[in-house]
Amino acid sequence: MAAIAERTREDQVDLRRRPRRLRQSPELRSMLRETWLRPDDLIYPLFVRHGKGLRAEIRSMPGVDQWSVDRLEAEIESIAGLGIPAVVLFGLPETKDAIGRENFDPQGIVQQAIREIKRAVPEMLVVTDVCLCEYTDHGHCGLLNQDGRRPHLPEGYVLNDETLEVLARVAVSHAEAGADIVAPSGMIDGAVGAMRVALDQADFDHVAILAYAVKYASAFYGPFRDAAESPPRFGDRKSHQMDPANAREALLEARLDVEQGADMLMVKPALPYLDVLHRVRSAYPELPLAAYNVSGEYAMIKAATAQGWLDERATVLELLTGIKRAGADLILTYHAKDAAAWLRETD
């Protein structure tokens, strides 16, 4: 063996620099760790629905449930107890219609949930997803071109500026109910600007906007569409969500949202788009950046760990750390509760 090492040195392999020196012990590794994941980096998604006493399992997302408002208190207390500072709400309305009226109804499911969360744990930060797809009978993220309203656009095309009016009303309605942060997720052009103007006019200039600035048309949203009962009735979302092949375009989307007043940016999904996350982080070092570790990414891990093919704890902590390392300050993830509990144990 020694002879081989000798030959190796003679071959000009420099063995004076030995990175392994700094990996010898847990203490050294901990002292030199570049990226730390903490419970307060995490935002936990919650699905809320009408009814009483409900905690309904979501088949494609084991461990994630739909909640009725009367059961939220204990759940919010446990989330807060784990040190998770924020939840993001998704609502399943009682009735769906062409424009998604329940979305801006003061008695809407999300509005009720916000009030209940703020009553139960006032310091819990509430982020709301602002989009039409869960509320419209056609399942699309905006108002549709129907009955030749815009004759030069295809029937069923998601109308942009008409949708802005609704998104602005939804944002104000969520703010009235007590939301801290509103998050437009529909990839409708001008949504951040429209929501900012409407919030400011309604005296909610303190409510922040987390822009789903860079959101791809991803197959990884599949399980969410079960959870939120929001698949499009026909067609897809490619006329507004981004092509997974495009990264430069992500910088344009981010820039437009920054110009319109976004307080924070988001890239979604996370794992297949870490390069994009890194680019957005470099382009906007001054803004907080979030990544959405989406339902399909969660479901993959759950499926593999249920088979015993992957170790859940190690895999989840590694992937969340990777998302932070790539540039995220915040991670929206269905793993949040488990991860926060594991992080507390290792403290």
Other Cβ atoms within 10 Å of 60 Cβ, number: 17
Nearer Cβ to ligand PBG (145/295): 295
**CB-wise, 41 or 134, nearer to ligand PBG?**
134
Which residues sit at the interface with ligand PBG, rule CB under 6 A? Answer: 129, 131, 133, 185, 221, 224-225, 237, 294-295
CA 175 to chain CA mean position, Å? 19
Q: Indicate if the alpha-carbon torsion angle 299, 300, 305, 308 is positive or negative.
A: positive
Active site annotation includes 215? yes
| Closer residue to ligand PBG, CB minimum distance, 121 or 280 | 280
Give the amino acid at 35. Answer: T
Q: Which is closer to ligand PBG, CB of 225 or CB of 313? A: 225
The least CB distance from residue 230 to ligand PBG, in Å, is: 6
Annotated catalytic residue, options 96, 215, 302, 324: 215
Strand 125-130 versus strand 42-49 pairing type: unpaired
Selected catalytic residue, list 96, 268, 302, 337: 268
CB of 312 to ligand PBG, least distance (A): 18
Judged by beta carbon, residue 61 or residue 117, the one nearer ligand PBG is 61
Q: Is 324 a catalytic residue?
A: no
**Residue of minimal CB distance from ligand PBG?**
224
**238-266 as b/e, with b when 16 or more CB fall inside 10 Å?**
ebbbbeeeeeeebbebbebbbebbbbbbb
SS3 per-residue string spanning the chain: CHHHHHHHHHCCCCCCCCHHHHHCCHHHHHHCCCCCCCHHHEEEEEEEECCCCCEEECCCCCCCEEEEHHHHHHHHHHHHHCCCCEEEEEEECCCCECCCHHHHCCCCHHHHHHHHHHHHCCCCEEEEEECCCCCECCCCCCCECCCCCCCCCCCCCECHHHHHHHHHHHHHHHHHHCCCEEEECCCCCCHHHHHHHHHHHCCCCCCEEEEEEEEECCHHHHHHHHHCCCCCCCCCCCCCCECCCCCHHHHHHHHHHHHCCCCEEEEECCHHHHHHHHHHHHHCCCCCEEEEECHHHHHHHHHHHHCCCCCHHHHHHHHHHHHHHHCCCEEEECCHHHHHHHHHHHC
**CB of 14 vs ligand PBG, minimal distance in Å:** 47
In the bound state with ligand PBG, the residue whose beta carbon lies nearer, of 90 and 157, is 90
Judged by beta carbon, residue 258 or residue 266, the one nearer ligand PBG is 266
Catalytic residues: 215, 268
